[in-house]
Amino acid sequence: MSSGARGDNLYTNQQKKAHIKELQKYLHVISYYNREIPGIIPNGVYDKPTENAVKAFQRAYGLTDTGEVNTATWDKIVSVYQKFMSAVPEMLEVFPQKPDTVMHRGDHCYTVAIIQAILFELSEHYSNLPCVHVTGDYDTETVQAVQLFQKISGLPVTGEVDCQTWNMLAQMGCDLR
């Protein structure tokens, strides 16, 4: 019996789906950095959106836009993906840049979630700080944790996060690394 008859050299549907999903994952990530590439959801099916993303990629990077993934297209996709994934991280400004900004009870946003995440991490290292759940809601639990943090840090105890409190939280959070 030859090895081909046993199926050793066959390209299975499962392998094909995994390779297509990998391609889609790379294109999905690249689309965040290059808006010319339409975003696609990796599903392992080489469908019309995938073909359109491949064509857009090929046009954007100087390849013939066939919608098919040959060696040159694959190598370029991998190269571009690796370039983006190994780039120096971009700075993300999370606290509003106005000096009079204040986060307080009732606010709901990702900045509150970051404040809570810092407070949570600090509570893991300092037993005198309460554990705060990360919800994105500036609730009573968050107010109380901020008040205690401010008291311990020698800041005015308001329960609100202004620029001064944010800077102290950020510094303390960075010191944990």
Give the model confidence (pLDDT) of 50-100 as tens digits. 999 999 999 999 999 999 999 999 999 999 999 988 888 776 677 777 778
**Predicted TM-score (pTM) of this structure:** 0.55
pLDDT of residue 177: 60
The answer as to whether 160 is a domain residue is yes
Split into its structural domains, the chain has a count of 2
Among 52, 85, 118, which residue terminates a domain?
A: 85
The answer as to whether 96 is a domain residue is no
Give me the domain span that covers residue 53.
Answer: 10-85
pLDDT of residue 2: 43
The answer as to whether 104 is a domain residue is no
Percentage of the chain beyond pLDDT 90 is 71
Band (7; pLDDT cuts 50, 70, 90):
low
More confident residue, 30 or 172: 30
Residues 118 and 167 occupy one common structural domain: yes
Residues 72 and 15 occupy one common structural domain: yes
| The dihedral formed by the CA atoms of 61, 62, 65 and 70, expressed in degrees to the nearest 10 | -80
Residues 65 and 122 occupy one common structural domain: no
Residues 79 and 122 occupy one common structural domain: no
- Long-range own/partner contacts, residues 31-39 (CB < 8 A, 24 or more apart): 32/84, 33/84, 34/60, 34/80, 36/60
Give the model confidence (pLDDT) of 43-62 as tens digits. 999 999 999 999 999 999 99
SS3 87: coil
How large is the average pLDDT for residues 36-42?
Answer: 93
Residue 112 near residue 142 (C-beta atoms within 8 A): yes
Q: What distance, in Å, lies between the first and last C-alpha atoms of the chain?
A: 60
What is the domain-level CATH number for residue 164? 1.10.101
